[in-house]
Amino acid sequence: MRRFAEGTPELADEMRTREARRARHVLDPQRLRVAGVGEVPGAEQVACGGRVGHRASIARALESRRMFDLDRYPARIGAGREATLADLQRAHVASITFEGLSAHVGEAVPLDPDSLAAKIVDGGRGGYCFEQNLLFKAALEALGYAVDPHLARVRVGLAPGQIRGRTHLLLHVADGEQHWHVDVGFGGGTPTAPIPWGPGTEHELAGWRFRVVEEDDEWVLQTVEDGAWSDVYVFSAQPSPMIDIEMNNWWTATSPDSPFVAGFLVSRQSTDGGRLLLTDWGELSLVERTPERTGSIAVERPQVADLLAERFDLPGFRVDDQGRLRR
């Protein structure tokens, strides 16, 4: 567990090592900067107390070239000054709507942290997996965590023998010797707290059960649906370079075959396990789910804009005369 502190020689050495490692990546480091206070927190080791992750003291920051606004982001998600990794994940998932509406209405979906902060933190919007998990990655790195992104192939709703592209993103978060599987951006129902990295036992989060199992040389996140384990997505233990993430995001945001271009899925999760979804992937409907039950209500196209504003905190959309969603 880590707490922000004024810079120490040991921390300065650690940060220089991280910066040297990141400088070898293809992506220009300047694109990883988030406009803000110009400070990034350092950390010192404190007792873990059996809780997941570190306690983030968001009041102070350590000077760094990588900048993330540690005032606006916690305010956006309602995180307290002593938030742990699990606290941050729960707050993010409960506060920020999953949505790929930018792709659906023909807007660009940039992934640099400046754009993500402008859209999600300052603009009050949501985002899909690439946006949400990269924003969370930037916040966690500013708090001193080591974070690697991993692309995944979604298997939910997949027919036997089919295979999808790597159009999902999750995070591997390291906090000292503790390693966590973190995902704040799976629209059908993302884990609300970290689970240990890699294959292992099952974990119950707000009533939903998850586990990771091995499959050949990959790992599969599974959840229980209708009393049986069902695949959510499959991924590699090797992290994904940013160029691959950018390419898969480009396809997801622009291809006519992308479900986020051809249709939409918007969802919210509550800390008690409730899930609310609005989607036209199939019949246009509003779906409410708990670990015990699922209910669905058919929706008329003209109702979509009002539902987005009233149920998902997404004002500013309208439905045109052809029934197409616009902004």
> Is 48 a known active-site residue?
no
Q: In this structure, what token pair is assigned to residue 214?
A: 């091995």
Q: How far apart are CA 196 and CA 90, in angstroms?
A: 16
> Which residue in the block uniquely carries the two structure tokens 């008690």?
272
Amino acid identity of residue 92, one-letter, is H
- How far apart are alpha carbons 3 and 11 in whole angstroms? 12
If one counts every other C-beta atom within 10 angstroms of the C-beta of residue 19, the result is 13
The catalytic residue among 69, 129, 150, 181 is 129
Residues 93, 29: Cα–Cα separation, whole Å: 27
What is the spatial distance between Cα 118 and Cα 123, in angstroms, rounded to a whole number? Answer: 6
- Do 179 and 172 contact (CB within 8 A), yes or no? yes
List, in order, residues 6 or more apart from 50 with CB less than 8 Å away.
none
104 is catalytic: no
Tokens of 25: 């990546």
Active-site option among 168, 172, 175, 280: 168
Answer whether 280's CB lies under 8 Å from 101's CB: no
Residue with tokens 């010192």: 44
Among 112, 175, 183, 280, the one annotated catalytic = 183
Cα–Cα distance, 304 to 96 (Å, whole number): 19
Alpha carbon separation from 39 to 27, 139, 149, 255, 307 (Å, rounded): 21, 12, 23, 38, 39
Give the active site residues: 129, 168, 183
